[in-house]
Amino acid sequence: MAAIGVLHACGGEEPPAPAAGTRPVKTFIVEGGQSGGQRNFPGRIESATRAELSFRVGGTVQDILVKEGDLVVSGQVLARLDPTDYQTVVRDRQATFDNSQRNFERGRDLVGKGFISGTEFDRLEANYKTSEASLEAARQDLAYTELKAPFGGRVAKRHVERFEEVDVKQTVFTLQDVATLQVKIDLPESLVRGLREKADDETAVPAFATFDGQAGPPLPLSFAEVSTRADPQTQTFEVTFNMPQPQDFVVLPGMTATVTADLSSRLVQAETSHWVPVSAVVADSALGSRVWVLDAQTMTVRSAAVTAGQMQGDRIEIRSGLAGGEEIVSVGASYLAEGMQVSRMATGEQAVPRAGDPD
């Protein structure tokens, strides 16, 4: 399996004799079998709406009116370009328009009296309309020297400095709508295979999010969508939930959360699996996957063959071979042998090789 390539070797199917002394290890309690029901996933926060803002005309940045982190409202002016050149163009085209308008109005009287031909009047009318459109374009360009927020949100990043020359479409600000946030998690293939094709509604996957240091209750999430294409690196599928901005503390894009999702209503056939630290799984000489199970009464370990599935971050899915509640070795597994006496590591202690360890 692809996951085995990152696992630690444990030296063969027949573990060697125990090393002398007691081996310190860290352990992990296997959670109850996950056949539907609630599961915890690492989540990442993104803004529901995000925009890279830029001027529609080029020029020199004259004023920057907001800073990173500021909350802005729709239509608020964020920055201005030096308008001098654009004001000059407007004045020039205004003069041209005024002249063509006078000629057009005069021609309208003259053509009615038969002093000019219809063709000459048509030329005056065309000049009038062309100068009018040209003036409107100049006024619009002048208006574009102000960069306004297209929606209310938070300025996530400023990309330019005052007095800097900017081009058309060059990013000036990154604006994020933080009123409604998206919480994204990655599901392994084993779960996505069982997901129904369509959600019935936004409560089809009951879920809530918790944040480090959060004092209040978990925040409810509403299901949005499931990606149909796997990430080429992790082979996981992205699931998106919506979450309103909390009232008692600020959540910003880029933060992380723990998402507890009840997938039972979204699974057609539930698959019992456990998620354990990658470091708990070792490979035997036949490239099979094993874990070391601790007997808490005797403080000895035994190896157990398991079936490994997908990896997600620092966790790996165990599809068979483990039961909920079992205590397994998560740090120091590479140095163990069948029946070895172990002790639980003190906080901050690291597993290191020593004389007599199995190869």
Task: Indicate the residue among 266, 300, 315 that finishes a domain.
Answer: 266
d(CA 159, CA 318): 46
Q: What share of the chain is helix, strand, coil (3-state, %, to 5)?
A: 20, 40, 40
Mean residue pLDDT of the chain comes to 84
Residue 124 has phi, psi (to 5 degrees) of -65, -40
**Would you say residue 158 lies in a domain?**
no
Tell me, what DSSP letter sits at residue 203? T
Pair 43, 182 in one domain: yes
Q: Are 278 and 7 in contact (CB under 8 A)?
A: yes
The tens digit of pLDDT for each residue in 158-185 reads 999 999 999 999 999 999 998 889 999 9
**Would you say residue 310 lies in a domain?**
yes
Pair 43, 190 in one domain: yes
**Would you say residue 94 lies in a domain?**
yes
First to last CA, the chain: 23
Q: How many CB atoms lie within 10 A of CB 281?
A: 25
Helix axes 84-113, 118-143, angle to 10 degrees: 160
The CATH number assigned to the domain holding 97 equals 1.10.287.470
**Would you say residue 154 lies in a domain?**
no
d(CA 346, CA 357): 20
The tens digit of pLDDT for each residue in 35-52 reads 445 778 899 999 989 999
Pair 182, 260 in one domain: yes
Q: Are 158 and 170 in contact (CB under 8 A)?
A: no
The CATH number assigned to the domain holding 240 equals 2.40.30.170
Pair 277, 245 in one domain: no
The arithmetic mean of pLDDT across residues 119-125, rounded, is 94
Tokens of 175: 């604006």
The CATH number assigned to the domain holding 327 equals 2.40.420.20
Lowest mean pLDDT among 194-198, 285-289, 314-318, 344-348: 194-198
Pair 239, 279 in one domain: no
Closest by CA to 20, choosing from 358, 332, 298, is 358
**Would you say residue 358 lies in a domain?**
no
**Would you say residue 294 lies in a domain?**
yes
d(CA 79, CA 96): 30
**Would you say residue 190 lies in a domain?**
yes
- pLDDT value at position 165? 97
Task: Indicate the residue among 234, 266, 298 that finishes a domain.
Answer: 266
Pair 184, 132 in one domain: no
Pair 251, 301 in one domain: no
- pLDDT value at position 97? 97
Closest by CA to 204, choosing from 227, 228, 221, is 221
**Would you say residue 54 lies in a domain?**
no
Task: Indicate the residue among 266, 295, 318 that finishes a domain.
Answer: 266
**Number of structural domains found in the chain:** 3
- pLDDT value at position 312? 77
Pair 89, 230 in one domain: no
Between residues 117 and 350, which one has the greater pLDDT?
A: 117
Q: Domain range for residue 215?
A: 38-49+178-266
Tell me, what DSSP letter sits at residue 11? S
Lowest mean pLDDT among 60-74, 77-91, 263-277, 299-313: 263-277
Confidence of residue 344 (pLDDT cuts 50, 70, 90): confident
d(CA 19, CA 299): 15
| Helix or strand (DSSP H, E) at 316 | strand 315-320
Pair 287, 251 in one domain: no
Pair 184, 324 in one domain: no
Tokens of 302: 């035994």
**Tally of residues, the chain:** 359
- pLDDT value at position 35? 47
The tens digit of pLDDT for each residue in 272-310 reads 678 899 999 998 777 789 999 999 889 999 999 999 888
Confidence of residue 311 (pLDDT cuts 50, 70, 90): confident
The count of C-alpha atoms lying within 13 angstroms of the C-alpha of 89, restricted to the half-sphere facing its C-beta, is 14
Pair 253, 304 in one domain: no
Helices (H) and strands (E) counted in the chain, each on its own, are 3, 21
For the chain, percent of residues with pLDDT exceeding 90? 51
Strand partners, 193: none
Pair 183, 198 in one domain: yes
d(CA 32, CA 68): 45
